[in-house]
Copies of this chain bind each other. A is one copy, B any other.
Amino acid sequence: APPPVARLEKPGGWSFEPFGRLMIDAGSVDAPASISDPGLGFGNEVRRARIGVQGDIPGGFDYKMELEFTGGAVEITDAILGYEAGDTKLSVGQHNNFQGLEELTSSRFTSFMERAAFTDAFDFQRRVGLSASYGKGMVLLQGGVFTDNIDNLDADNNSWGADARAVVAPKLGNFQLHAGGSVHYRDLNDAQTTVRYRQRPQVHFTDTRFINTGNIGAVSELGYGLELAAINGPLHLTGETFWQQVDRPGALTDPTFFGGYAEVGYFLTPGDSRGYKGNKFDRVKPKNPVGKGGFGAVQVNARYDHLDLSDAGVIGGIQDSFGVSLIWTPSDYTRFMLNYWRNQYRDAAILAGTSADYSVDSFGVRAQVDF
């Protein structure tokens, strides 16, 4: 039998590879009984259904396009033309603007069903732009200028931003360290006159956000992020912090909102470890997968996640979430996940009776395949 062919190729360096992912979620959100909201209780959804294509082009170029299909619509996630010369990679098109470790880590490889509360809250998203990335040894430097997401990029949109990030990632034997920082500026220009920061209770199948700044007048955003991670065999530790400062119009005081998380995880199955590649968390490849006499990899994780949307007169609320996850990875491309979260709110945007301080439990399961 001929050897398997995993990608299409033409002589000279042209190639084509398809890829995709499918995540199916279910679970429940239990809030105080005095909150009546049809989005609470049981929920389920196809969280992500994506298909993409990527490949190489003769001369050092490459391309990547990825599409997300959800609820009757389609969104372009990545649409990139790249060029690699030595240690430098240039990218033009829609791509991630170096927001931080967890945002840049694929959703296929995160420790919990949803990323840290601050990532969506502060509107992290891919945008159209031009960037350079320089990586050599343990050092990574990234920077770019961006306009807006394709979906928002109509002819009248003249918003723009600039982003920079630096990472050092020394590896000492089995011990992988990762430390980084980033800074982000975004000028809203005529595209919008307000921002709104809000967040779900750690699961996505609900649309109820207990913390929410509402629309606040804004001219620009300035964000700072710090990130830290360590992997040593079955154990990993990671955490990030992010400050988002909003420049409000005129003489209004500028609030600074804050989010962060700290996480520890451990593999119960011997020989398994969290993947790390390209300065991001990567695929877990079980040492003893299902189908080869093994049971796959089993990992437990615990996380504290904090998001504070109250500052300078804006009362968006504070969410403190304590979560545990159990992840079963039968084989390289499949994953089943169980999440439980206890979310504690202060100054919540939704009142439970007359109280803005209460707790919400979130429970979720996910079935995942990627290819």
Query: Which residues does A use to contact B, with CB under 8 Å?
Result: 2-14, 16, 18, 20, 22, 24, 38-39, 41-46, 49, 51, 53, 55, 57-61, 63, 65, 67, 69-76, 79-81, 92-94, 128, 147, 150-151, 153-156, 158, 190, 205-208, 289-292, 296, 330-334, 367-369, 371
Which residues in B have their C-beta under 8 angstroms from that of A76? 46, 49, 69
Known: A5-B5, A53-B51, A369-B61. A150 touches B46 (CB 8 A): yes
Interface centre among A12, A65, A79, A94 (most CB of B within 10 A): A65
A49 vs B3: C-alpha distance when bound (angstroms): 33
| A18 to B92 CA separation, bound complex (whole angstroms) | 22
Per the bound structure, the CA–CA distance linking A69 and B70 in Å amounts to: 13
Question: Are B290's CB and A59's CB within 8 A?
Answer: yes
Partner of A290, one of B20, B60, B206: B60
Given contacts A38-B158, A150-B46, contact A22 B61 (CB under 8 A): no
Query: Closest chain B residue to A10 by CB distance?
Result: B6
A8 touching B9, Cβ below 8 Å: no
- In Å, the complex CA distance between A294 and B5 comes to 31
How far, in angstroms, from A46 to B76 measured CA to CA in the complex?
Answer: 10
Cα–Cα, bound, A254→B69 (Å): 38
For the complex, give the distance between the alpha carbons of A223 and B153 in Å: 34
B71 touching A156, Cβ below 8 Å: no
Smallest CB-CB separation from A290: which chain B residue?
Answer: B59
Q: Which 6 pairs show the lowest CB-CB distances between chains A and B?
A: A4-B9, A59-B291, A59-B290, A59-B331, A155-B207, A38-B156
A20 and B331 in contact, given A71-B154, A153-B46 (Cβ under 8 angstroms) = no
Most buried by B among A155, A158, A291, A332: A155
Number of copies: 3
What is the bound-complex CA distance between A183 and B245, given in angstroms?
Answer: 58
Q: Inside 8 A of A296's CB, which chain B residues have their CB?
A: 59
Which listed residue (B6, B24, B94, B206) contacts A8, Cβ 8 A? B6
> Are B51 and A81 in contact, with the CB atoms below 8 A?
no
Q: Give the docked Cα–Cα distance between A74 and B153 (Å).
A: 16
Report Cα–Cα, A69/B150, bound state, in Å: 10
- Contact check, B53 vs A20: say whether CB atoms are below 8 A apart: yes
Beta-carbon nearest neighbor of A93 in chain B = B24
CB-defined contacts of A332 to chain B, threshold 8 Å: 12, 14, 58
The reply to whether B46 and A128 contact each other, CB–CB distance below 8 Å, is: yes
The reply to whether A57 and B18 form a contact with Cβ atoms under 8 Å apart is no
User: B334 and A61: CB pair below 8 A?
Assistant: yes
Q: Are B46 and A331 in contact (CB under 8 A)?
A: no
Q: Which of A8, A70, A128 is the most central at the interface, judged by chain B CB atoms within 10 Å of its CB?
A: A8
- Whether the Cβ atoms of B45 and A128 lie closer than 8 Å is yes
Quote the shortest CB–CB distance from A91 to chain B (angstroms).
10
Q: Contact between A74 and B71 (Cβ–Cβ < 8 Å)?
A: no
Contact of A6 with B7 in the complex, beta carbons under 8 Å = no
Q: How many angstroms between the C-alpha atoms of A8 and B301 in the bound complex?
A: 35
Residue contact A41 to B367, C-beta cutoff 8 Å:
no
**Measured between alpha carbons, how far is A20 from B53 in the docked complex, in Å?**
9
List B contacts of A44 (CB < 8 A).
128, 147, 153
With beta carbons under 8 angstroms apart, the residue of B10, B57, B128, B371 that contacts A55 is B371
* Contact sample, A vs B, 23 pairs, CB 8 Å cutoff: A2-B3, A2-B5, A6-B10, A13-B291, A14-B332, A14-B333, A16-B18, A18-B18, A20-B63, A22-B79, A22-B80, A39-B156, A41-B158, A44-B147, A49-B150, A53-B371, A57-B371, A58-B291, A71-B153, A72-B73, A81-B369, A92-B367, A155-B205
